[in-house]
């Protein structure tokens, strides 16, 4: 069993409801073991778009990183995700950030996420729920990496505690019809 750490983001439609539904959808991979607070963040790259809501979730899974990525794509498509241009506004964005301490560089799959260490909108929520989690390429904790970014209070603003996800993590076990094979 591995822990897959997933970054969640949305800036179109009912952002919070979409993210809440996406967290429930992650149960297809296994039990959701952690959900961060919800943060509002400025867009990165293409700036002429609404602000994002971001969070991070941890899922205990037997699925391979490639299988996790496939499920994330299915959840995004179910929520109307369209890839029009890089950094475009989106109904839902799910990124595989880490899969335990695995390091992979394959076509269409890089773990850990290649920009994880640069992005406050991912590091702040990840450091909230797993501060001692190590970055397998850099060899430093996510809390240290978040600290390296300096004061991000103007760019990453906490808007709700972990209860936003609307789930009791003790009851997040997948049903028999939701568990995926590797």
- The pLDDT score that the predictor gives to residue 182 is 29
pLDDT at 45 over 70: yes
- The pLDDT score that the predictor gives to residue 170 is 56
What is the DSSP-derived secondary structure letter of residue 31? -
| CB neighbour list of residue 56: distance below 8 Å, 6 or more residues apart | 5, 6, 7, 8, 34, 35, 36, 97, 122, 125, 126, 128, 129
pLDDT-based confidence at 175, cuts 50/70/90? very low
pLDDT at 28 over 90: yes
Taking residues 82-103, what's their average pLDDT? 86
Q: Which positions are catalytic?
A: 81, 90, 93, 95
State whether residue 156 is helix, strand or coil: strand
pLDDT-based confidence at 44, cuts 50/70/90? confident
Taking residues 158-171, what's their average pLDDT? 82
Supply the pTM of this predicted model: 0.89
């Amino acid at each position: 069993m591995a822990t897959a750490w997933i970054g969640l983001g949305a800036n179109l439609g009912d952002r919070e409801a979409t993210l809440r539904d996406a967290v429930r959808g992650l149960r297809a991979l296994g039990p959701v073991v952690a959900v961060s607070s919800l943060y509002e963040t400025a867009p990165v790259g293409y700036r002429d778009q609404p602000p994002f809501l971001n969070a991070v979730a941890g899922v205990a899974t037997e699925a391979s990183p490639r299988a996790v990525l496939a499920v994330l794509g299915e959840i995004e498509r179910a929520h109307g995700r369209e890839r029009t241009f890089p950094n475009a506004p989106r109904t839902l964005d799910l990124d595989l950030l880490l899969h335990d301490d695995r390091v992979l560089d394959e076509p269409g799959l890089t773990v850990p996420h290649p920009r994880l260490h640069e992005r406050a909108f991912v590091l702040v929520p990840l450091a909230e729920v797993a501060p001692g989690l190590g970055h397998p390429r850099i060899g430093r904790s996510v809390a240290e990496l978040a600290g390296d970014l300096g004061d991000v209070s103007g760019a990453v603003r906490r808007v709700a505690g972990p209860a936003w996800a609307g789930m009791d993590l003790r009851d997040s076990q997948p049903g028999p019809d939701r568990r995926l094979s590797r």
